[in-house]
Amino acid sequence: MSTQSKPRVRVPTTATKGELIEIKTLISHDMETGQRNDSAGKTIPRRIINRFTAAFAGKTFFEADWHPSISANPYQSFFYRAEQSGEFTFTWKDDDGSEYAATAKLTVA
């Protein structure tokens, strides 16, 4: 059971200077712990996203280390104080070395 990992983000496109905005992220991912067996009785290899980072204008402002207890299709939300226009970059890192990324622009008026 393997899904195609697909990151999704929800970020307001505009904000007023100093406004606190909520950012919501979700990635489609099985988060396989390595503790289950397939129908043939073989162990399904561990494959989880173990690191999530959020950056604005190239500067990291939020990081999270994830462990096997995180559910499939992990959701993460957090807040950011909008001070200037720019671009967010969100990155998810997998045990197998895969990296998934998404971006979103914010205009501050």
Task: Give residue limits of the domains in the chain.
Answer: 6-108
pLDDT of residue 3: 58
- In terms of Cβ atoms closer than 10 Å to its own Cβ (0-12, 13-18, 19+), residue 2 is exposed
Q: What pLDDT sits at residue 2?
A: 52
Q: For each of the chain's 109 residues, which pLDDT tens digit applies?
A: 455 789 999 999 999 999 999 999 999 998 988 889 999 999 998 899 999 999 999 999 999 999 888 889 999 999 999 999 999 999 999 998 999 999 999 999 9
pTM of the model: 0.89
Q: Could you count the other beta carbons within 10 Å of the beta carbon of residue 81?
A: 11
Question: Domain 6-108 carries which CATH code?
Answer: 2.60.40.10
